[in-house]
Amino acid sequence: MIQRIDSNFLINTIGASQTKFYSGRIKKWDFRFLSLAKHIASWSKDPSTQVGAVIADSENRVVSVGYNGFPRGVHDTETRLNDREQKYPLTIHAEINAILFAQKGLKDTILYTWPFPPCDKCAGFIAQSGLQNVVSIERERDTDLILRWKEELKRGEQVFEESQVNLRIYTREVWQEL
């Protein structure tokens, strides 16, 4: 089930039998973990895209974090980081890093991602890992980054829908109202 939470307090539910209403305010722990994911994203050396991920358990404890970057031991030179032909094949996405670094099973955990929902490849890893819930922020519209990743992000939502992973997306307006 995919939920988009907007400033009109409405959750637009895709793939479910009805539209549900929500309190309109971002949940306290969602805000905290999305804020942490935003901070973790700043650790990425990628000059064009900084993505952060946090996995938290049902007691609101951090299980793992990740950011996008090259594998351990691979040199992240300025040349590689600025050349997409070299960078993309080498980069491990934040969501996958968080899953790989988790030291325990991911049952009953939630993945938080910043600054947009997971792409199709990450969605597949998320579903395969056993994660059932993902919380993110709505992707910005018409930025160069989003235009480049538009299809992958759309397919990511499709993977979640088919694999029954719940995705809760807060609109930018809800986030900015804080």
Are residues 34 and 114 in contact, defined by beta-carbon separation less than 8 angstroms? Answer: yes
SS3 sequence, 122-171? HHHHHHHHCCCEEEEECCCCCCHHHHHHHHHHHHHHHHHHHHCCEEEEEC
Cβ 92 vs Cβ 128: under 8 Å: no
- The residues that are catalytic are 95
d(C-alpha 60, C-alpha 92), whole Å: 26
